């Protein structure tokens, strides 16, 4: 069965103060990066899926993310799924 690689990005919703991002931003500014602003820190999650088709793999990635990987109250997510091509 083909294997797929899912890459899920979870970010805090716009408008929710990202205190971690703010602190990192302050640090970078202290280091002289005064052109940097609006740092947001999120999560990047990857996993492999065995599925018959890309469509089915997408479905699994989507439902898994919906069910556990993100919290709709405070976060948004996007994801990509690509087939893992075996080296021959």
Partner 1 sequence: MKFAVVIFPGSNCDHDAYYALKHNLGFEVTFLWHKDTTIPNDIDCIILPGGFSYGDYLRAGAIARFSPIMREVISFAKRGGLVLGICNGFQILTESQLLPGALLKNYSLKFVCKDVFLKVINNNSPFTSFMKVGDVLRIPIAHFEGNYYADEYIIKQLEDNEQIVFQYCDEFGKVTEDANPNGSLKNIAAIVNKNRNVLGMMPHPERYCDPILGGTDGKLVFMSIVNFLNKI
Q: Please say whether the beta carbons of 50 and 84 come within 8 A.
A: no
- For partner 1, the closer of residues 44 and 88 by Cβ is 44
Which residue, among 10, 9, 40, has the nearest Cα to 23 in the 3D structure? 40
Residue 26: which H helix or E strand, with range? helix 19-30
Extract the runs of DSSP E, i.e. beta strands, from the chain. 3-12, 43-50, 75-83
- For partner 1, the closer of residues 2 and 47 by Cβ is 47
Q: What is the largest CA-CA distance in the chain?
A: 52
Using the rule CB under 8 A, is 68 a contact of partner 1?
yes
Using the rule CB under 8 A, is 27 a contact of partner 1?
no
Using the rule CB under 8 A, is 26 a contact of partner 1?
no
Binding region for partner 1 (CB under 8 A) out of 1-9, 18-26, 48-56, 80-88: 18-26
Contacting residues toward partner 1, per CB under 8 A: 16-17, 19-20, 23, 68-69, 71, 73-74
């Amino acid at each position: 069965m083909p294997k797929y690689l899912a890459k899920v990005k979870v970010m805090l919703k716009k408008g929710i103060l990202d205190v971690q991002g703010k602190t990192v931003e302050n640090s970078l500014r202290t280091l002289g990066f005064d052109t940097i602003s609006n740092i947001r820190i999120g999560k990047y999650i990857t996993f492999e899926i065995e599925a018959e088709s890309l469509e089915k793999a997408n479905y699994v990635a989507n439902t898994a993310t919906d069910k556990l990987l993100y919290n709709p109250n405070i976060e948004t997510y996007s994801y990509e799924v690509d087939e893992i091509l075996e080296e021959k």
